[in-house]
Amino acid sequence: MTKPVSMLNVYDLQYGWSTCPDDGVTFDQRVEWYWGDIEVSAVQVNLAEGLPTLVFAQVTVWFRGVGSVHHVADAASLADYLTKVLPGVKALAHQEYLVIEAP
């Protein structure tokens, strides 16, 4: 029986989103860059360990304690991806939810 190949969605500034095999990419346990509060809205970045690899960093976008993991191919792609994601994350962090009571 063959082992299923795990695939990663990777953002590359030049090519956009694509998939690549997860060849055992490991990420540094230290958070390299962080913004926000995980329980509200946040972004955190962990860099890949070892070279060469098709993945430069793992970006986790958090909202209300639930994280969505994304991967980027290189430093330029990371910077581009963060400029696209961060405005929405910041808006959610500062948004006040209006509670409407039924009559």
Residue 66 lies in a domain: yes
pLDDT (tens digit, 9 = 90+) per residue, 17-67? 999 888 888 888 889 999 999 999 999 999 998 767 789 999 999 999 999
Q: Is residue 102 part of a domain?
A: no
How far apart CA 65 and CA 97 sit, in angstroms, is 17
Range of the domain at 87: 7-94
User: Count of domains in the chain?
Assistant: 1
* Whether the Cβ atoms of residue 56 and residue 25 lie closer than 8 Å to each other: no
Within a domain: residue 1? no
Q: Give the whole-number percent of the chain exceeding pLDDT 70.
A: 86
Residue 98 has pLDDT above 80, yes or no: no
**pLDDT the model gives residue 46:** 95
Q: Is residue 2 part of a domain?
A: no
Model pTM score: 0.81
The answer to whether position 29 is within a domain reads yes
